[in-house]
Structure 1
Amino acid sequence: MDIGGYFPPCLQDLAHHHIYGNTWKLLGIVEDTGNGHQKYNRAFQYFPVRQDLKKPCIYSVARSQLKMTEDYNVGKSLVRAADTILRQSLDLRLEDHRVVGVIEFGKIGNKALTFDDLQNIGVNIDRLIIASYTSADDELNIYEGLKQYKYVSDSTYPVNFSWYTIKRRAGSDFQLILLCDRNATNFNCRAILGESIRSVQAAMMICALNLYRSNRKNKSNSDILTLTNEEEIMIARLWLQHFGRMK
């Protein structure tokens, strides 16, 4: 089971299990996230073609309908997490800001503003607050030159943000605030996803069972696999039967 795509760099070694003395056998990998799905897809593109090396069987639930429901709930929880930090640390409310931008509108944002972008921000914007939501290994990279503009507080009270005052080319100042000091907000402020996550966990278990069955039949696949429509419908029905009664 993988959540975030941490095994692609060593995928070839995992497939070449006989170098470890045949003490274990890799049945396959089940990936949960869209970020991890992309990593495995790239790893498959560069996987060497050799007779003594077979691609590991990989299942992913990242493109399933069940995962889409979880993603929707994750989106709501992340907004609540950002609002919580703004209220507790800066005495601000997200609803008071008229403009909210989403960079790279996908499962996981992967674009960060460059320092030049910051210097050219319009004169009608005097404060920019950035919250990053992503995997722990894909957080924002901060330009080294930005550190000289960081406000250093004398307070010993812990804060969940870093504050920069940057001079525009036109001469005026504007403030940049990075929530959680550029780290992923979703790991700093835990947000409750509810029971929708149970359906995705069930999907991963079904994928693991499929891996076991395919290995017993000695089947191999060159693409990333996912659940069938019938399997998703079965999981959804079981979820409704159990958790629907709890509401």
Structure 2
Amino acid sequence: MNRPLSFFKKITLNKETCTPDRLIVVTHLAPGNEDFLLELNERIPIAAVIPKPNSIDTHTRDIVSSRIQILDWNRATIKSQPNQFTEEIENLVEGASFAIIDTGGYFSHVLRQICDRFEAQLLGVVEDTENGHQKYTALLTRDNSNFPCPIISVARSSLKDPEDFLVGQAIIFSSEALLRARGEILNAKNAVVFGYGKIGRSIAHHLRQKSIQVSVLDINPGRQILAMAHGFHTETKAQLLNNADIVYCATGNHSLTHLDIPLIKRGAYVFTATSADDEIEDHTSLMQRAIHDKKDNISRIDTNGSYFYIANGGNSANFMHGGIVGPFIKLIQAELILCLSQLKGAPTDRIIELSDTKKRFIADTWLEQFTSQPA
């Protein structure tokens, strides 16, 4: 048995796992994700997988679709056709209890409608990402009331730290590879990182290792102070955009607004750490007027007599090269599984997390599985 499958079997054999009858899963269909989905499907039937559209590996999709139904909905179509989407979910779950594993807050836009439709059937949502965590938080703040069902998030879990660190490293790898393919190098360029969360921090530190002048801007004053304590320069956003040769967007909450676009330095490159519509305001209209170079996976945006480049259509740069972070991603996938057992009866007045005890169980199991010598 391969190590990932053995690891997931040990996690899913835990007596506290797998309380829903069905699952709906929003996820990346990147290489390696099939182990997680197929093992989970053995324990809880996955009614459907909704793939993130900009991170679909064809081979991985073929493997998953041979066992699990694929729904080609995206965030925009869910928002624009909520009734049709809810009806399709109803046909899939067929009266059974179910839970949602979300990646990026896809269901935040229709959560109350779905809960009204399914009442006690929906046990709750487990969210994977920071931008999804923010979307569910906004739902609670906007409505000034409880969630209609429990929400558990792994976005800020300590088990996600290794993955986020390696995602930052992968983004630097992909940005450097793209520049080299265009006859340019990272060295001697000025870079700005918007956001000093776990991924932004990783990006900034990996850039520094390459002797690049790095500035950081975070709207959270605590994080901004931390960046300064780590020795990173900062200025106003306008000054940073005017001077940066490379812009890394890692906030999950519109690093670049429509007011920022004209300020971007002529010929600069923009790389993001998450979905384009999360990092770039009016992304769709911006890309409609872009000049696309499919060979280099880059788009040129002309604006007010100037221009700049956006990599990978504005989506996470690391997926240009597969977005692979090795077995470390299994930690957070295991946490997603254990979170499912905590949904029933969980509070709805806040987003909750998995207990430290259960995180320790996951970490111990991972170390046993992935650091021991094979028999």
Residues 71-118 of structure 1: CA deviation (Å, up to 9, x unaligned): 111111111111122223x02232x23322112333533311624413
Q: Deviations over 1:187-242 (max 9, x none)?
A: 3332320111001000000101222xxx3xx5543211101111111111111111
Which residue of structure 1 lines up, in the alignment, with residue 358 of structure 2? 231
Q: What does residue 126 of structure 2 align with? A: 30
Query: By percentage of residues, which structure has more strand?
Result: 2
Structure 1 counterpart of 2:270: 130
1:151: Cα distance to partner? 6.6
- Please say if 1:244 is aligned against 2:244: no
What is the CA distance between 1:164 and its match in structure 2? 5.4
1:131 counterpart SS class: strand
Query: Please, which runs of 5 or more residues in structure 1 have no aligned partner?
Result: 169-173
Q: In the alignment, does 2:337 pair up with 1:205?
A: yes
Does structure 1 residue 102 correspond to structure 2 residue 193?
Answer: yes
Range moving further from structure 2, 69-78 or 31-40: 69-78
Q: Which has the higher contact order (CA 8 A, sep 6+)?
A: 1
CA contact (8 A) 1:164 1:177 kept: yes
In structure 2, what is the Cα distance between the partners aligned to 1:61 and 1:231?
12
Could you say which structure has the larger radius of gyration? Answer: 1
Indicate conservation of the 8 Å contact 1:17/1:25, yes or no.
Answer: no
Aligned residue type for 2:184: L
User: TM-score, normalising length from structure 2?
Assistant: 0.51
Runs of 4+ in 1 over 4 A off after TM superposition: 142-148, 150-153, 164-168
The letter for the 1-side match of 2:340 is: A
Are 2:141 and 1:69 equivalent residues in the alignment?
A: no
Paired with 2:287 and 2:135, the residues of 1 have a C-alpha distance of 30
Q: TM-score, normalised by structure 1?
A: 0.74
- Does residue 4 of structure 1 match 2:104? yes
Letter in 2 for 1:178: I
Query: 1:49-198 to 2 correspondence within 5 Å?
Result: 55-88=148-181, 90-94=182-186, 96-106=187-197, 107=199, 108-109=250-251, 110-112=254-256, 114-118=260-264, 121=265, 127-140=267-280, 141=282, 158-163=295-300, 176-198=308-330
**Rounded Cα–Cα distance in structure 2 between residues aligned with 1:144 and 1:60:** 31
The Cα shift of 1:41 comes to 0.9
- Paired with 1:244 and 1:99, the residues of 2 have a C-alpha distance of 39
Match of 1:45 in 2: 141
SS in 2 for 1:73: helix
Cα distance in structure 2, aligned partners of 1:41 and 1:62: 12
| Residues 1:219 and 1:91: Cα distance change in structure 2 (over 3 Å) | closer
Once the two structures are aligned, what percentage of the paired residues are identical?
28
CA distance in 2, matches of 1:239, 1:3: 22
Query: In angstroms, what is the RMSD of aligned CA positions?
Result: 3.2
- What's the CA shift for 1:180? 2.7
